[in-house]
A and B are shown apart, each in its own frame.
Chain A
């Protein structure tokens, strides 16, 4: 573990007896005892995750110009012009020329000459190289500034907002009024400047906080004092699967189109705007059904790479787990065209076929099951 990168909260995790694992070169907490208990805390009350391994990148331009927006119009598959007022955020994929996903990210509109993106930990360095390359080739003239001086804490759950709002009395009212995918930059909190974003990865209400690395431990401690449970990557994976949210590297990658990964809703093929990968997407179209699976019987746990047998041919699970809320195993699968929601399919678990039902994603939203058993 000595060669792994550590977030500003590493010592806090060790103090809480976290089980530390190598996650894309970072020493991260898998759980602090039980990932099932951590999952339940997020669904029932409030939990928090250290997501400082993800990379914040500020994209700056010339004051008075829209050069950052022009750059992002070209670099992102979602339409940056959906961000009409500062304080709004957008989820998008960034594609290569073949239409594969270089990464998925959230872009925050701070000012016309300053946008912020948050990208995945394992892909961050390649993303920055890629964006710099696009910037140079297209002569967009923007500046990319990785912000490794910032930490990120995601506080999620039905009681999460209250825990966060108590930390920032001066901006409490403004932060409380934020809608999903809204955010506020609070320049003077007791912990220095903080960006509070009503975004997350669990299907619950909550905030993602970006703040100076040196203030992270104090905020983490305050949140623990307020009854927020530290949660690890294990719980995060179960929560995001229940919430129907893709994971880069499993559900989509450089060779997978967002149209084949259930992300067509994030791809702007309507406007005339050109963007990297658009031509390839229009040419290839959608070649697979991306849907949820729920295991009908108690036969084990659905996991990535298991083969799915359908009437239209074979497919594959891209992510799978046990759902503590549904008390069954669930998965995302890429299936042949023609497979429909409601179909029964067979998943090969230890070479034994087990029945599963194809369902619409997500499985869970705001603590409530959206699918029934088989």
Chain B
């Protein structure tokens, strides 16, 4: 299972990349996509949505079930990955390339709650 060392992770299986301009890019982990199975539909928020950390941000539907994606950090949705509407299976193929959305964080303090790759690996019993 891939767990890139340059990313941060949440207990609810999102990955977070902090870009040089402070924006964060969010996706789901390899562990999550494997557990969900074939992904067939994504419901992403509209740009400009303000969301608090830990709240449901998006929905991923696999052939098996619908699953919520939670905001790793409070902030505003800046951009969503429109390409995924036509190609939701890209998340299965490469969950770290197929990002879901980008957010502008509103609280730097919340970064402390994110895990590094090793802590996340331990949290999933890997």
Nearest Cβ on chain B to A149's Cβ, whole angstroms:
33
Instruction: Check A350 against B37 for contact (C-beta < 8 Å).
Output: no
Interface size range on B against A: 10 to 19
What would be 18 A-B contacts, judged by CB atoms less than 8 Å apart? A34-B38, A34-B92, A35-B38, A35-B63, A36-B40, A36-B63, A234-B37, A234-B63, A234-B64, A298-B41, A301-B61, A301-B63, A301-B66, A303-B65, A322-B40, A322-B41, A322-B61, A350-B66
Chain B residues lying within 8 Å of A300, measured Cβ to Cβ, are: 41, 43, 59, 61, 66
Chain A residues lying within 8 Å of B64, measured Cβ to Cβ, are: 234
Name the residue on A nearest B92 (C-beta).
A34
Interface residues of A in 23-59 (CB under 8 A from B): 30-31, 34-36
Chain A residues lying within 8 Å of B38, measured Cβ to Cβ, are: 34-36, 234
Interface residues of B in 58-79 (CB under 8 A from A): 59, 61, 63-66
Nearest Cβ on chain B to A353's Cβ, whole angstroms:
15
CA A141 to CA B69, docked complex, whole Å: 60
Nearest Cβ on chain B to A344's Cβ, whole angstroms:
20
Instruction: Check B63 against A322 for contact (C-beta < 8 Å).
Output: yes
Contacts A234-B64, A301-B41 supplied; 17 other A-B pairs, CB < 8 Å: A30-B37, A31-B37, A34-B37, A34-B38, A36-B40, A36-B89, A234-B37, A234-B38, A234-B63, A300-B41, A300-B61, A301-B63, A322-B40, A322-B41, A322-B63, A350-B59, A350-B66
CA A299 to CA B85, docked complex, whole Å: 11
Chain B residues lying within 8 Å of A303, measured Cβ to Cβ, are: 65-66
CA A299 to CA B42, docked complex, whole Å: 9
A contact residues, total (Cβ < 8 Å): 17
CA A301 to CA B40, docked complex, whole Å: 8
At the interface, yes or no: A316 with Cβ under 8 Å from chain B? Answer: no
Chain B residues lying within 8 Å of A35, measured Cβ to Cβ, are: 37-38, 63
Nearest Cβ on chain B to A239's Cβ, whole angstroms:
12
CA A234 to CA B62, docked complex, whole Å: 11
CA A301 to CA B43, docked complex, whole Å: 11
Interface residues of B in 79-93 (CB under 8 A from A): 85, 89, 92
CA A238 to CA B40, docked complex, whole Å: 13
CA A350 to CA B41, docked complex, whole Å: 14
Chain B residues lying within 8 Å of A7, measured Cβ to Cβ, are: none
Interface residues of B in 20-47 (CB under 8 A from A): 37-38, 40-41, 43
Chain B residues lying within 8 Å of A301, measured Cβ to Cβ, are: 40-41, 61, 63, 66
Instruction: Check B43 against A238 for contact (C-beta < 8 Å).
Output: no
